[in-house]
Structure 1
Amino acid sequence: MIALINPVSSGAALADAFWEEGADCLHIYSAGLEPSAQSPAAQHTKPYHHTDLQDTAAHLAAHGVHTVIAASEYGVTLADELSQELGLPHHDHRLRGARRDKHLMAQALAAASLPHARTTLVHTEDELRAALDDEPTFPVVVKPVNSAGSEGCLIVDSPEEALDVFRASTGRVNLMGEVNDGYLVQEFLRGTQYIVNTVSHDGKHLLAEVYAERIDYVDGAPMLRHIISRSAFTDAEQHLVDYVLRCLDALGIRDGAAHTEVMLTAHGPRLVEVNSRVMGPCLAPDPYQAAYGYSHQHLTVERFLRPEEFDKRFPLPHGPARTVAKVFLRPHREGVLTAMDGLRTMRRLPGFHSIARLPVIGEPMQDRYLTTGACGIAFFVHEDTELLQHSLATLHDIEDAGGMFRLEDLTNGG
C-alpha cells in the first residue's frame, strides 16, 4: 500500500498514473486541500483528512502502508514527517528542512561545497536594510522563504523598492497556506534558467527531462513564458546536469521525483531551488509521452511499482526523439475574459499538440505573473526544434499584441 500525500495540482496526475496501473494507494489531504474533481483516481479513492501526525501515521500503519510519497509541494514536509514516524525508507530526514526552506537549502549547498547564490534571510525591516547594505550591486531578488509558483518573487532595483515589497507581503498567507514571516535577499542571477526533472532510487538519480526556460521580466516580476526540452547537451549544459545531481545529494534526495530549477550563469550553474516532487503545475501526460515515451509521473510510478524495470534505464543515454514545449499562456493585461480569439490561430501553428486548463469566459483572468497555469497551458511537440521555436515566437507575439484573449475592464465586466 502506497500513501500519496496531498495529491493536488500536478499530484492529481501522479495519483491517476498509479490508479491506471491498479496500484493500491491511500490519498491523504491536509486541512483546506480537497480531491480534484477531474481526477479519476480521486473519484475512486476515499480520502483521509490529516489533522494529527500520530493519528495519520496510525491510519497508514493500519492499512499496511510501506511507501509514503509527497504528491505535491503541499505534501513534501508531511511526507517526510510520516515516513520518519513510521520508520519507512525515504529521503534523508536530517535535511528535511532544507528541502522546503530556501535559506536552509542554500546552507546545505554551502556545506557540500557547491556554488550557490548569495542569500540572506531577513525577518524585519532593519534586517532587510542591513542585508541590502551588504549587497554589492542591484538588482537583487526578494522572495518569501517558503512560497511557491513565483508568488511574491520580485526583482528590485533599490532599497526603497525592496522595503515596499516586504511591507506589502510580510504577514500574508501565501499559496502554500503558510504565513510569509521570512524573506530572502538573493543576488540576481543573470543567464538562462533550466529545469531538470529526475526520479531517484536508493540515492541514484535518473535524468528524466531537461528544459530551457524563457523568462520575461514585467513590472519587476519574473514571467515564465515557456519551457522547451533539451536532448543534446552543450558542455555547459552537461556541467549543469552534473551540478544538479550533486545538489540532490546535498539535500538528501533518495527516492522518487524531484523538480529542480537552476540558472546557467557566466560563472557556471547556480541553484534556484529543488522541489522533491513531480513537476507542476500541470502534467497532462500525452505531450510528454509523445516526446519521451514517458511522463514524469509515469516514470515515478515505474520506480515504485517496477523498480527492476526502472533500474534498466540508468545505462541508457538521454536523448528523446522529439522536442516538447510547454507554454504558460498570458493575457496582455488584467480584465474579464470575453473571448479567446487567438486559439484558432494557435491550433494551426506547426507542432501544436494540445491545451490544458483554459480560463473560463465571463470570469476575471487570474494573476498573470504566477506559474500556476491559471491562464491556460499549451503544449507543442515536433521533431524539428527550430520550427517549434518559430511557432513559440509567433504565439508570444500574438499574446503580447493582445490577440490571444479578448478582455473587458474589470470595472465594466465584473
Structure 2
Amino acid sequence: MTSVQEPSAYEGFRGKRLALVESMLHAVFYDEIAAARRHGLRVHLLIRDREWYAADEAAWRDHPLTEVDQLTFVDTHSADAVLEAITDEHGRPLVDGITTFSDYHTEIAAQVAEKLGLPSPGANAIATANHKPSLRAALGDSPYNVPYALVTHPGELAEAAARIGYPLVLKPPAEAISYGVVLVDHPAELTAAYDRVAAIRQSLRGQPRPGHVLMERYIDAPEVSVESLTVDGVTHVYGVTAKYLCPPPTFLEAAHTFPATLDPVSRAEVETAVTEVLRVIGYRQGPCHTEVKCTADGPKIVEVNPRLPAGCLTTMVRDVCGSNPHLDAKLLAVGARPPLPSGRQSGGAAVVMLYPPPGPAVLEAVDGVTEAEELPGVSVSLFAHPGEHLWHRIDNSGRVGLVYATAATPQDALDTATRAAGRVRITVAPADAGPDDLHTDISRQQR
C-alpha cells in the first residue's frame, strides 16, 4: 500500500472555519470530519433534523456528528436559511468556506458560497451535473453522450421511446443511490415503468419533485467510475474504480475494485472523457465521482456526481494512492490548496456489498463476521442490527453491510473480499411491507 499523505500537507486547516451542510450517512464521513478537526479545522455543521442520523435522542447523544465545533439546526433545503445561519448581523460570513457531500445539498452550498464570495465549485456547474437532463443537454452531440429524452407528460412517452430505441432506462431527473431507476426491455413494459418513476414526487430527503422522467438508451457495457479533484478548473484524477453491478433490472452495486484493470489507452480515454465533461459544465473546484460505461465506441458518461463517493471508494483511494480525498476537498472549500493526486498507486483494494434476501423483512442475525475478518486485510462494516426492519426498495440503500479488503492486486483483494463475504450469514424474517421511501430506523442508512 502507498503511504498516507504527510500531516504537513494539511497545515492549511489551521485557523480556518468550514460550514458543512448535512452529511452523508457513512462512518468514513464522520471519521474524516474528526480528522480535519485534528488538523486544526473548525467545523460548523448545519442539519435539518437529527432523525435522519439517529433513531432516538439517546442515539443522537452518542452520535459522532455531535462532536463538531458548532451544530445548528436549520432548514437546509433553503439557501436563504443556510446563508443566514453562517453570516453576522451585517451579512458577513462567519466561515472561510462552505461545502457538502450530500447530493441533495450541493446546489445550496454552492449558491451560498457564491453569494458570500467564498470558494465555490460553481453553482451553475453543480445544477447542471445534478439535473441529469441538463447534463445531457450540455453534452449535446459529444461522443460521450447517450440518446435521451425528458418526458414531462405521458403523451410524450411513445414517441420518445421510439426515437431512443430499446432497451431503455427510466429514472428520476435528480436522485441518488439508483433510487427509482427502471430498465425497460419492451414497449409493453413502458407505461407501467413510467407511472412508477413519475410517482416519485419528492427526493429521499423530502424535497419536492415534479414527477418528470428521464429516459435514456440502456448501455450494456462494463462500468467504471473516475475519482477526481478539480483545482482552479483543472481536473486531476486519483484513479479509476471498476464497478460490478448485479444483473438487470436492479442496477444494484455488487462490488468495486481499485484501481480498475484497464489498458493504458482505455484508461486515458476514460480520464479524458471525464475531464472534458467537467470542463464543459464549468466545474471550478472540488471532488467528483463520475460514472462511465466503457463501450466499443468509447466512453459514455452515465452520471456526474460533484461530491465525494461512498461505498468505501475514498478508503480505497487512501489505501492505494496515499491521498485523502476527504481532507483534500475540505482544504479546497476553505480556500487552501490541497496536495494534488500524484498518480502513484500501490496494491489494490476491493469492497463487496452485503444484501439481505429480497422482500420486506426484519433482520434476525448477521453471523460469521469474526470468521470473515480472520482473512488478511479484511474488515466488515454492518449498517443494520437485529430487530430492524430492512428497506425493501430496490436501490443501494438496501445494503446490510459491506466487506472491505486490501491486497497486492485489485483482483487479489476482490477474491479475498468475496471469500470473506461468503462467511457472513444474514438471517431475516418476513415482514409486512412498509412505506416505499421511509424506514423505521433511518439511522441504519450508513451504507
The bucket for the TM-score relative to the shorter chain is 0.7 to 0.9
Instruction: Tell me which residue corresponds to 2:114.
Output: 84
Shift in CA distance, 128/404, structure 1 to aligned 2, threshold 3 Å: farther
How many angstroms does 1:271 deviate by?
0.7
Range with greater deviation from structure 2 (335-344 or 241-250):
335-344
Q: CA RMSD in A?
A: 2.9
Shift in CA distance, 12/73, structure 1 to aligned 2, threshold 3 Å: farther
The correspondence of residues 225-374 of structure 1 with structure 2, limited to 5 A, is: 225-230=254-259, 233-234=262-263, 235-280=265-310, 285=315, 288-304=317-333, 307-308=336-337, 310=339, 313=340, 316=342, 318-334=343-359, 335-352=361-378, 354-367=379-392, 369-372=394-397, 374=399
Matched, 1:122 2:151: yes
Shift in CA distance, 28/157, structure 1 to aligned 2, threshold 3 Å: same
Matched, 1:54 2:111: no
How many angstroms does 1:297 deviate by?
0.9
Q: Secondary structure of the residue that 1:46 maps to in structure 2?
A: strand
How many angstroms does 1:109 deviate by?
1.5
String of CA shifts for 1:1-52, please: whole Å, max 9, x gaps: 3221222325545533432322122222346875664653533332241365
Looking at structure 2, the residues matched to 266 and 180 of structure 1 have their Cα atoms a distance apart, in angstroms, of 36
Instruction: Tell me which residue corresponds to 1:203.
Output: 233
Looking at structure 1, the residues matched to 63 and 214 of structure 2 have their Cα atoms a distance apart, in angstroms, of 36
How many angstroms does 1:212 deviate by?
0.4
Matched, 1:141 2:162: no
Shift in CA distance, 99/16, structure 1 to aligned 2, threshold 3 Å: farther
Instruction: Tell me which residue corresponds to 1:26.
Output: 44
Matched, 1:163 2:191: yes
Shift in CA distance, 387/71, structure 1 to aligned 2, threshold 3 Å: closer
Q: Counterpart amino acid of 1:360?
A: H
How many angstroms does 1:139 deviate by?
1.5
How many angstroms does 1:391 deviate by?
2.6
Looking at structure 2, the residues matched to 223 and 277 of structure 1 have their Cα atoms a distance apart, in angstroms, of 20
Range with greater deviation from structure 2 (1-10 or 95-104):
1-10
Instruction: Tell me which residue corresponds to 2:3.
Output: none
Looking at structure 1, the residues matched to 432 and 120 of structure 2 have their Cα atoms a distance apart, in angstroms, of 51
How many angstroms does 1:146 deviate by?
0.9
Selected match of 1:132 from 158, 161, 168: 161
Q: Secondary structure of the residue that 1:290 maps to in structure 2?
A: helix
Instruction: Tell me which residue corresponds to 1:9.
Output: 25
Structure 2 unaligned regions, length at least 5: 1-16, 55-59, 434-439, 441-447
TM-score normalised by the chain length of structure 2: 0.80
Shift in CA distance, 367/276, structure 1 to aligned 2, threshold 3 Å: same
Q: Counterpart amino acid of 1:26?
A: H
Q: Counterpart amino acid of 1:297?
A: H
Maintained 8 Å contact 1:12/1:39:
no
Structure 1 unaligned regions, length at least 5: none
How many angstroms does 1:409 deviate by?
2.3
How many angstroms does 1:54 deviate by?
3.5
Question: Percent identity at matched positions?
Answer: 20
Selected match of 2:427 from 399, 406, 409: 406
Looking at structure 1, the residues matched to 153 and 314 of structure 2 have their Cα atoms a distance apart, in angstroms, of 41
Matched, 1:43 2:64: no
Q: Secondary structure of the residue that 2:87 maps to in structure 1?
A: helix
How many angstroms does 1:55 deviate by?
4.5
Maintained 8 Å contact 1:200/1:253:
yes
**Structure ranking higher on relative contact order (CA contacts 8 Å, 6+ apart):** 2
How many angstroms does 1:186 deviate by?
0.4
Looking at structure 2, the residues matched to 125 and 19 of structure 1 have their Cα atoms a distance apart, in angstroms, of 51
Selected match of 2:406 from 376, 381, 386: 381
Q: Counterpart amino acid of 1:84?
A: E
